[in-house]
Chains A and B, each alone.
Chain A
Amino acid sequence: MFDDTIAAISTAVSASGIGIIRMSGVRALEIADQVYRSKKKGKRLVDVPTHTIHYGHIYDRDGIVDEVLVMVMRGPRTFTGEDTVEIDCHGGIYAMKKVLDAVLGHGARIAEPGEFTKRAFFNGRLDLSQAEAVMDVIQSKDRYALKNSIQQLRGSVKDRIIQIRKVILREIARIECALDDPEHMSLDGYGEQLREIVNVQRQEIDRLLSTVESGKIIREGVKTVILGKPNAGKSSLLNVLVGEDKAIVTSIPGTTRDVLEEYIHFGGITLHVVDTAGIRETADIVENIGVEKALDQAGQADLLLYVADASVPLDENDLRIIEMIRDKQAVVLVNKSDLPAVVGVDTLEALTGKTVISVSAKEGSGLERLRSCVESMFFQGSLDLPEDVYITSLRHKNALEEARESLDQVSESLDAGMPEDFYSIDLMHAYETLGYILGESVDEDVINEIFESFCVGK
Chain B
Amino acid sequence: MSQLVREYQVVVVGAGHAGCEAGLACARLGLETIIFTVSVDSIALMPCNPNIGGSSKGHLVRDLDALGGEMGKNIDATFIQSKMLNKSKGPAVHSLRAQADKQAYTNRMRKTLEVTQHLTVKQGEVARIIVEDGKVKGVETYSKAVYHCQAVILCTGTYLRARCIYGDVSMHTGPNGLQSADYLTDSLKELGLDMLRFKTGTPARIDGNTIDYEKMERQSGDDVVRPFSFSTQAEEIQKEQVPCWLTYTNEKTHEIIRRNLDRSPLYAGVIEGTGPRYCPSIEDKVVRFSDKDRHQVFIEPEGLYTSEMYVGGMSSSLPEDVQYEMYRTVPGLEHAEIVRSAYAIEYDCIDPRQLDPTLEIRSIHGLFSAGQFNGSSGYEEAAAQGLIAGINAAMEILGREMLTLDRSQSYIGVLIDDLVTKENKEPYRMMTSRAEYRLLLRQDNADLRLREIGYQIGLVSEEEYRHVLWKKEKIQEEIKRTQKTYIGGGEDVQRFLREHKSAALKSGATLADLIRRPELDYEMLRGLDEGRPDLPLDVREQVNIHIKYEGYIQRQKKQVQQFEKLEKKRLPEDIDYEKIPNLRNEARQKLSLYRPVSLGQASRISGVSPSDISVLMVYLMAQ
Residues of A within 8 A of B (CB): 112-114, 118, 121-122, 128, 131-132, 134-136, 138-139, 142-143, 172, 176, 179-184, 416-422, 424-425, 441, 443-444, 446-447, 450-451, 455-458
Contact = CB atoms under 8 A, between A and B. Distances in A.
A135 B519 CA distance: 54
A447 B552 contact: no
A138 B611 contact: yes
Contacts of A425: 439, 552, 556
A444 B422 CA distance: 10
A139 B89 contact: no
Contact of A422 (B86, B90, B295, B582): B90
B615 A422 contact: no
B298 interface: yes
Interface in B265-281: 277-280
B93 to A, nearest CB: 5
Nearest to A176: B433
B475 to A, nearest CB: 22
A139 B584 contact: yes
10 contacts: A131-B618, A180-B55, A180-B431, A180-B433, A181-B55, A416-B518, A419-B93, A422-B90, A443-B606, A450-B433
B563 interface: no
B433 A447 contact: yes
Nearest to A132: B581
Interface in B153-186: none
Interface string B533-559: 000000000000000000010001000
Contacts of A441: 606
Contacts of A172: 433
A180 B432 contact: yes
Given A138-B582, A179-B432, A458-B203, A421 B93 contact: yes
Given A136-B582, A139-B584, A180-B433, A421 B621 contact: no
Contacts of B86: 179, 182, 421
B427 interface: no
A458 B292 contact: no
B544 to A, nearest CB: 14
B380 to A, nearest CB: 13
A451 B278 contact: yes
B288 interface: yes
Interface string B606-623: 100111001101110110
A261 to B, nearest CB: 29
B622 to A, nearest CB: 4
Q: Which 5 A-B pairs have CB atoms at the shortest separation, nearest pair first?
A: A142-B611, A131-B622, A417-B518, A419-B90, A176-B433
Nearest to A449: B433
A113 B431 CA distance: 36
Contacts of A421: 86, 89-90, 92-93, 432, 438
Contacts of A184: 296
B340 interface: no
Contacts of A446: 433
A418 B296 CA distance: 28
A128 B618 CA distance: 10
Contacts of A457: 277-280, 285, 313
Given A135-B582, A138-B615, A419-B89, A458 B609 contact: no
Contacts of A419: 88-90, 93
Interface in B392-423: 422
Which of A114, A451, A455 has the largest number of chain B CB atoms within 10 A?
A455
Contacts of A458: 49, 203, 279, 298, 312-313, 315
Interface in B208-230: 219
B188 interface: no
B289 interface: yes
B434 interface: yes
B304 to A, nearest CB: 22
A138 B614 contact: yes
Contacts of B622: 128, 131
A299 B615 CA distance: 29
Given A139-B584, A180-B433, A131 B619 contact: yes
Nearest to A441: B606
B225 to A, nearest CB: 18
Given A421-B89, A455-B289, A138 B618 contact: yes
B560 interface: no
Which of B280, B292, B431, B433 has the largest number of chain A CB atoms within 10 A?
B433
A420 B280 CA distance: 26
A118 B311 CA distance: 59
Contacts of A112: 614
B582 A121 contact: no
Contacts of B55: 179-182
B196 interface: no
Contacts of B90: 418-422
A182 B85 CA distance: 7
Interface string B295-314: 11010000000000000110
A424 to B, nearest CB: 8
B103 interface: no
Nearest to A138: B614
B279 A142 contact: no
Given A179-B93, A458-B315, A135 B296 contact: no
B618 A118 contact: yes
A424 B432 CA distance: 11
A221 to B, nearest CB: 24
B582 A132 contact: yes
Contacts of A142: 609-611, 614
Contacts of B219: 183
Nearest to B311: A458
Contacts of B203: 458
A392 to B, nearest CB: 14
Nearest to B285: A455
Contacts of B581: 132, 135-136
Contacts of A122: 617, 621
A157 to B, nearest CB: 23
B341 interface: no
Interface in B584-616: 584, 606, 609-611, 614-615
Nearest to A422: B90
A447 B434 contact: yes
Contacts of B614: 112, 114, 118, 135, 138, 142
B56 interface: yes
Interface string B499-527: 00000000000000000001100000000
Contacts of A118: 614, 618
Contacts of B434: 447
Contact of A455 (B295, B312, B432): B295
A114 B613 CA distance: 13
Given A131-B621, A421-B90, A176 B615 contact: no
Interface string B314-340: 010000000000000000000000000
Contacts of A138: 582, 611, 614-615, 618
Interface string B423-444: 0000000011110001100000
Contacts of B621: 121-122, 131
B582 A139 contact: yes
Contacts of B292: 455
Contacts of A179: 55, 86, 89, 93, 432-433
Contacts of A451: 277-278
A139 B552 contact: no
A457 B201 CA distance: 12
A420 B431 contact: no
Contacts of A416: 518
A458 B622 CA distance: 53
Given A128-B622, A132-B581, A135-B614, 15 more contacts: A118-B614, A121-B618, A135-B619, A176-B433, A179-B432, A180-B432, A182-B55, A183-B219, A422-B90, A443-B606, A455-B280, A455-B295, A456-B278, A458-B203, A458-B312
Contacts of B85: 182-183
Interface in B195-211: 203
